[in-house]
Amino acid sequence: MARKKIALIGSGMIGGTLAHLAGLKELGDIVLFDIADGIPQGKGLDIAQSSPVEGFNASLTGASDYAAIEGADVCIVTAGVARKPGMSRDDLLGINLKVMEQVGAGIKKYAPNAFVICITNPLDAMVWALQKFSGLPKNMVVGMAGVLDSARFRLFLSEEFKVSVQDVTAFVLGGHGDTMVPLARYSTVAGIPLTDLVKMGWVTKERLEEIIQRTRDGGAEIVGLLKTGSAYYAPAASAIEMAESYLKDKKRVLPVAAHLSGQYGVKDMYVGVPTIIGAGGVERIVEIDLNKAEQEAFDKSVAAVAGLCEACINIAPALK
């Protein structure tokens, strides 16, 4: 069987890390793409030169022409700019929306059968626009955010409880970051819900709230430390987990920004929900009952995403 082909559109900090991880895990041959000519070629060559040492088999090439992504099985999109001081969220949205238009056209032309994972921010709006610009089936275009948000939550919980990260599961819904909705009664330590752990005296409600807030602010905490950029190791690892579930038909249950067509009462928007990712892309959206407080938090999150989509439509009316 021929190797799978993975196209990384955007070869910056996350793109380079994705290439390294995809190589180490032998997910397939890797094409790095970027408009900054030389960067994808240089990173590809550098990582390829690590393959004899690490002992993995994968070809890594770099390109600044979309023809190079032809026939890709997976495309992971990080192209765009990050917010710089003095730049409003709308400024960023306008710039990255144009990038999504170009990327969408490239994928439509050269990789129409790919499973597409968008990481570019503002995530929930960019993945929505990318699906429309590319015209790919909605179950084949997703956004990465929930895996990262829940990984951050799991890490902080494991540190709090002094248990292995492997025994902590977290359930998050909603938009990325600020409006993320962690569901304590579905997040567990070895199957014991956080709500029970509060009753058992493992953690107070107030301390749990602090951990949740740190998770929401997880991206900003890293930007504050790095000063010149945002997180890239954990975002890349999260997207690779999603790509692997698709490529190996693992049917992992993962929180992703998925297209909703009525689920959770939401129509034609991308919002973070639990999904099953397998060879059919998003094979199922897992719908759970929300209590009043959870529903309110989810509605607030959906309203924030809707606001971003409206802003996109104002810039590019064709998205309507």
Residues at the contact surface with ligand A3D, assessed by CB under 6 A: 9-15, 34-36, 39, 78-80, 82, 99, 102, 119-121, 123, 144-145, 148, 176, 229-232, 235
Nearer to ligand A3D, 68 or 163 (CB): 68
15 labelled ligand-binding:
yes
Can you tell me which residue has the tokens 């038909």?
A: 249
Q: Which of 74, 141, 135 is nearest to 109 (CA)?
A: 135
Rounded distance, CA 298 to CA 158, Å? 25
The residue number whose beta carbon is nearest to ligand A3D equals 12
Is 217 annotated among the ligand-binding residues? no
Residue closer to ligand A3D by CB (options 230, 295) is 230
Write down the least CB distance from residue 18 to ligand A3D, Å: 9
Query: In whole angstroms, how close is the CB of 205 to ligand A3D at the nearest point?
Result: 27
Question: What six digits make up the tokens of 209?
Answer: 């709230």
Q: Minimum distance from CB of 265 to ligand A3D (Å)?
A: 24
Q: Which is nearer to ligand A3D, 121 or 150 (CB)?
A: 121
284 labelled as ligand-binding? no
Rounded-to-integer distance, Cα 68 and Cα 297, Å? 43
Cis check for the bond before 235: say yes or no (omega within 30 of 0): no
Known catalytic residues? 176
For the CB of residue 121, give the shortest distance to ligand A3D in the complex, in Å: 3
14 is in an annotated binding site: yes
Q: What are the CB-based long-range contacts (under 8 Å, 24+) for 87-90?
A: 89/122, 90/311
**C-alpha closest to that of 265 among 310, 309, 311, 296:** 296
Identify which of 318, 238, 227 has the alpha carbon closest to the alpha carbon of residue 277.
Answer: 238
Q: Residue 191, by phi and psi: left (phi above 0), alpha (psi -120 to 50) or beta?
A: left
Tokens of 204: 């107070």
The response to whether 10 counts as a known ligand-binding position is yes
Nearer to ligand A3D, 147 or 189 (CB): 147
Confirm whether residue 17 is marked as ligand binding.
Answer: no
* Closer CB to ligand A3D, 123 or 136, in the complex: 123
Closest C-alpha among 226, 227, 260, 255 to residue 241: 255
The helix (H) or strand (E) run that includes residue 234 is: helix 233-247
Residue 183 CB, nearest distance to ligand A3D (Å)?
Answer: 19
Pairing of strands 281-285, 29-33: unpaired
**CA–centroid distance for 288 within its chain:** 21
- Is 313 annotated as belonging to a binding site? no
Q: What residues form the annotated binding site?
A: 10-15, 34, 83, 89, 96, 119-121, 152
The annotated binding site for substrate is made up of: 83, 89, 121, 152
| Binding annotation for NAD(+) | 10-15, 34, 96, 119-121
